Structure 1
Amino acid sequence: MPGIKADQQSRWCNQTHDKVVTLKFLMMQKTTLPKVFVIGHHKIATRSIHQLFKVDGYKSIHWKGGRIAETMLKNMRMSQPLLKGIESACVYSDMEYLHDDGEFFYGHRLFPILDLQYPGSIFIFNTRNLDSWIKSQLAHKSKKSGLYVRRIRKGLKTIYPGRKIKNRDVIKMWRRTWQQHEDEVNRYFSGKSNLLRVNIESVESKKQLISSLRTFGYELTSDDLPYVGATPKKRKISSRHGKSAD
């Protein structure tokens, strides 16, 4: 700029940039944006959807060690709004918990209550091939707690005492739960316009999801779901086939 020294110009540019970033952040936090609830099961790109919003500055919470689901259950027991204590976020995903003792709870199954308590919200129903999802479930484990399916077996044993629970019993439950949840989602959202469906194994379906989210006011810069939550080898293979993370 004429008449302005280089160091002054640099400071002015930095200050202007900071103001723009701050303004954009504040605009993103406006309560006019609808909340987004990811109501598909975990291991279906829930972290990828979470990251899609997070990289563009939107407040998104994912799993939190089961604390999202625990908060929802506690609030429901106390006749409080489900999100009391965590209502400041825009996006919620992987709303389940599974304790080491086998107790489990699926908060995403409460989507009708969320729709009632937070009118105008958007619901993302993320799906994938059922058999590949079951394989992913069987392989899922954590360093601290071990195999996911083992803890589910433990939980089922408390429900059916005296009965020997095997993996095939868990798989049978997963298949039944999958179909029941899909039927309930289809029935509840029939005639409604706030459900977005995405098949994470379809490139076009993922693009359509992001395009639809933009119409609701979310300024998303990516045209695909980011890939997170897998080993480098699996990430490399999946990227070639246009797949998203579990």
Structure 2
Amino acid sequence: MSHAVAKAALSGRPDRAIDSIARPPDKIGHPPPASRPVLSRKFFQIGFNKCGTTFIARLFAMNGIPTVHWEENGLAEDIAFSKLSGRAPLQPWAHVTAFTDMESVRSINLPIVEAFRDFAYLDRSFPGSVFLLNTRRVEDWIISRYRHRGGRYARACAQARGVGLPDLADLWQADWDAHLAAVRSHFAGRPELIQIDIDKAGPADYRDALAPYFDLPTCPDLPGPGLRRKRAGYLPALDRMLNTPRAAIPAADHDRIAGGLAAFARPARIRMKPVGFAACSGQFATFDAATGKVAARGGVPLPILPDAGRRFHLDPAFPRWMNVAAAVNDIAEVASRGLYYIDMQPACRAGAGDGARIGRPILAPSRRAGAENVFLWPAPRAHWPGNDAFLGNPDRADPPFPDKRDRAIWRGALSDDAAEDGAPPGADRLGFVAAHAGSTDVDAAFLPGDRAALDRRGHGGLATGRADEAFLLSHRYLICLGGVAGLRDFAALANTRSVVLKEEDDWQGFHSGLFQPWRHYVPLAQGCGDLAERLAWARANPAECGRISERARAICAALADPDLRRRHLTRVLQDYRAATGQ
């Protein structure tokens, strides 16, 4: 099957959001009711996602049976790590009976985990359990997967598997066929396997099929016409997603751009000193690529283990190490040898001044200009091509420059990881937004999530209810404030038909050397005191603004190229090994 499945008729029953007390709709976890004993028999839903998994979870939960659904990737990642480490799986949920949607697909460089496909391991670990294989019309399932999370899910899958978006259809079809065959072979002749086609089953069919094992007198409703109407819009969106041409970077440019990125990544100075790494953060770790061992300070092993394919899995009980695990996967993709010191704190102050000296080179997502011993490495959460936070959703609506509002806009968070020690959190940003309150030229406001913190300071009115991407991109001029948050935001703003007005400071990220003032963005002085002047210049030079935007988008297209990224990372690690005598 090719991506021509996009033309198939839409049918089937989409997943339904679940109402759950004190948890987001996709996360269900109910403690065992005091009036009902914990059931010893477990239930595992082992069909793919987008096959009514939330309906199944709700069926159990609303009947008082302890149920956990997805757990924000935690179920799948616990099963994968438990299998690698030899411990019993799902120990944090010992009281739970029903487990659904055991999958993890993150928009950072961590392995895709489809733990429901480890049904044989779960069968051995929990003898006597009941397994439900939920299926649907496979063409509809593929379409639904493509449009899951607005396309972000598919983009993350494509990046993780190293393929183009159109290629996923064939891979997913093969996964579907192999999984169904394996399940049916493993459970052949065993009553513990229940199979339900969600396109044909009604609520009572689930209850009746599970009746020998679980008492489920109350059944949730199936999705209504509203969700079916939503699905009717999937095909046009899928067509745009699969057929919109992407900018091609000439192969001859790959080495040149990768070389420029690697050259900028090198520290201002390399000095080996016996001072250790006290100036590094709590995100400091070492990675031995040859042995696959990851350790914190003092050689303490971290809960990060490789699988047979050298993909590194993090124990989900330790989310603070997620950035380190992602960086380890980045390194392992391009290097099979070398000892690497890394510090994945977003704002790395190591190497910047006598009080922050470190004993040897490290890899870090940011640095102060002139910092010694700090090689720049892409920030895991914001600089991975499978993450829309990096370059923005490639299918987003972005009007031509002349059709946008003749106004500058800023949206962002109150805090910034780069705030100086002793400064009130968000002081600079608060002053910037307050200075432009009521302005007709500059729309500056904080994100709605900061409203409570702003209320406590008496500035609740500076948070906005309008922060969606379409509204942001309806403006000609996009303001990027400085600091590490600015490094994180810049590429997504630059990859638009708007023009970026960027506050200059001495923070550097891995791509900072590629973007030049007046060529790829309009510079603002630190503190943005010249914003009115720069905005007036931009308004007087619309043609040059168009060229600035076009050149910035060309750089972003290069950064999204998988081959170029691989060459860039390979060269950085080659330089790192040379600098450390490896």
- Residue 194 (structure 2) pairs with residue 196 (structure 1): yes
For 1:91 and 1:137, how far apart are their aligned partners in 2?
23
For 1:166 and 1:217, how far apart are their aligned partners in 2?
43
For 1:168 and 1:106, how far apart are their aligned partners in 2?
21
Larger deviation, residues 206-215 vs 118-127: 206-215
- Residue 85 (structure 2) pairs with residue 116 (structure 1): no
Q: How far does residue 185 in structure 1 lie from its aligned partner after superposition?
A: 0.6
Q: Which residue of 26, 29, 50 corresponds with 2:57?
A: 50
Name the CA shift for 1:136/1:236 in 2 (closer, same or farther; >3 Å). Answer: closer
Q: How far does residue 220 in structure 1 lie from its aligned partner after superposition?
A: 2.8
Report the counterpart of residue 137 of structure 1 in structure 2: 145
Secondary structure of 2:113's aligned partner: strand
For 2:96 and 2:81, how far apart are their aligned partners in 1?
18
For 2:187 and 2:35, how far apart are their aligned partners in 1?
30
For 2:229 and 2:106, how far apart are their aligned partners in 1?
32
Q: How far does residue 48 in structure 1 lie from its aligned partner after superposition?
A: 0.5
Report the counterpart of residue 77 of structure 1 in structure 2: 84
Report the counterpart of residue 156 of structure 1 in structure 2: 161
Checking the alignment, whether the CA contact within 8 Å between 2:134 and 2:195 is kept in structure 1 is yes
Checking the alignment, whether the CA contact within 8 Å between 1:227 and 1:235 is kept in structure 2 is no
Report the counterpart of residue 96 of structure 2 in structure 1: 89
- Which letter maps to 1:40? G
For 2:54 and 2:187, how far apart are their aligned partners in 1?
24
Residues 73-121 of structure 1 deviation map (CA, whole Å, 9 limit, x = unaligned): 1111110122222222110011010111253110001111111111111
Checking the alignment, whether the CA contact within 8 Å between 2:42 and 2:130 is kept in structure 1 is yes
Checking the alignment, whether the CA contact within 8 Å between 1:101 and 1:154 is kept in structure 2 is no
For 2:38 and 2:124, how far apart are their aligned partners in 1?
21
Q: How far does residue 56 in structure 1 lie from its aligned partner after superposition?
A: 1.4
Report the counterpart of residue 184 of structure 2 in structure 1: 186
Checking the alignment, whether the CA contact within 8 Å between 1:53 and 1:60 is kept in structure 2 is yes
How well do the aligned residues superpose, as a CA RMSD in angstroms? 2.3
Pairing 1:161-176 to 2, within 5 Å after superposition: 165-176=163-174
- Which letter maps to 1:136? S
Write 1 or 2 for the structure with the bigger share of helix: 1
Pairing 1:228-243 to 2, within 5 Å after superposition: 233-234=226-227
- Which letter maps to 2:174? R
Q: Sequence identity, in percent? A: 25
Name the CA shift for 1:155/1:190 in 2 (closer, same or farther; >3 Å). Answer: same
Secondary structure of 1:56's aligned partner: coil
TM-score using structure 2 length: 0.32
Report the counterpart of residue 208 of structure 2 in structure 1: 211
For 1:110 and 1:26, how far apart are their aligned partners in 2?
32
Checking the alignment, whether the CA contact within 8 Å between 2:38 and 2:95 is kept in structure 1 is no
Checking the alignment, whether the CA contact within 8 Å between 2:38 and 2:97 is kept in structure 1 is no
Residues 47-81 of structure 1 deviation map (CA, whole Å, 9 limit, x = unaligned): 00000111111110001110101111111111012
Secondary structure of 1:25's aligned partner: coil
Report the counterpart of residue 220 of structure 1 in structure 2: 217
For 1:120 and 1:208, how far apart are their aligned partners in 2?
22
- Residue 136 (structure 2) pairs with residue 128 (structure 1): yes
Report the counterpart of residue 62 of structure 1 in structure 2: 69
Secondary structure of 1:124's aligned partner: strand
Name the CA shift for 1:202/1:77 in 2 (closer, same or farther; >3 Å). Answer: same
Q: How far does residue 203 in structure 1 lie from its aligned partner after superposition?
A: 3.1
For 1:108 and 1:54, how far apart are their aligned partners in 2?
19
Residues 19-62 of structure 1 deviation map (CA, whole Å, 9 limit, x = unaligned): xxxxx934533334x21100000010000000011111111000
For 1:117 and 1:27, how far apart are their aligned partners in 2?
27
The structure with the largest alpha-carbon Rg is 2
RCO comparison, higher one (Cα < 8 Å, 6+): 1
For 1:175 and 1:237, how far apart are their aligned partners in 2?
24
Name the CA shift for 1:236/1:155 in 2 (closer, same or farther; >3 Å). Answer: closer
Secondary structure of 1:203's aligned partner: coil
TM-score using structure 1 length: 0.74
- Residue 41 (structure 2) pairs with residue 29 (structure 1): no
Checking the alignment, whether the CA contact within 8 Å between 1:52 and 1:226 is kept in structure 2 is no
Q: How far does residue 237 in structure 1 lie from its aligned partner after superposition?
A: 8.5
For 1:71 and 1:218, how far apart are their aligned partners in 2?
28
